[in-house]
Chains A and B, each alone.
Chain A
């Protein structure tokens, strides 16, 4: 069965500090991994996907198949990064996204 685990419900960091959001997955094939972000009172929006290998808003994520992880990182957190972050997986199913429970990030000045 496919599963996405985000072990941290809440991550509180100071502005300028590095931030890392953990995501582990369970899937027997080659998954496609995504990070979605939801700012306060806004819709879910795609932050990045592993196949594009881009850095968006200073965030990067590397798919580690050996550790079955797709951790999200940013070297210097900004106040505007405060949001809910969801890791999601797509496998063989027809477009189905499997979401993790989400991590609330709070960046304090």
Chain B
């Protein structure tokens, strides 16, 4: 069964550094998402992406964040200048369809980001 994959599984970085988290969505899916979960807190929506454009973003997704689909398979989340509070588990998800009534979202295993 196809799965969403994410690399790396754990990323450690210094405050102020740029990080890129990578995801390979399920191959025939068209809608892509990033979520994050700070330790002990809820899973929070960051951004949705379709047709090479951001469809929606949360208030967390400020100017230091960006997403890109650089080729036909990868979907990346870039954090330009990391802060301590960016330490979290970042989940990528994809779905075949989207829109106001979301199709089933399939999640990756997550990347644990630690900012020192």
Contact = CB atoms under 8 A, between A and B. Distances in A.
A95 B56 contact: yes
A91 B102 CA distance: 8
Nearest 4 pairs of A and B residues by beta carbon? A94-B55, A44-B107, A99-B43, A95-B98
A46 B31 CA distance: 17
A22 B66 CA distance: 36
Interface residues on B, range: 20 to 34
Contacts of A100: 42
Contacts of B99: 94-95
B55 A43 contact: no
B100 A92 contact: yes
B110 to A, nearest CB: 7
Interface string B25-65: 00000010101000001111100101000011010000000
A46 B44 CA distance: 16
Nearest to B37: A99
Given A43-B109, A43-B110, A97 B104 contact: no
Say what secondary structure dominates the interface of chain A: loop
A85 interface: no
B90 interface: no
A24 to B, nearest CB: 15
Contacts of B76: none
A46 B104 contact: yes
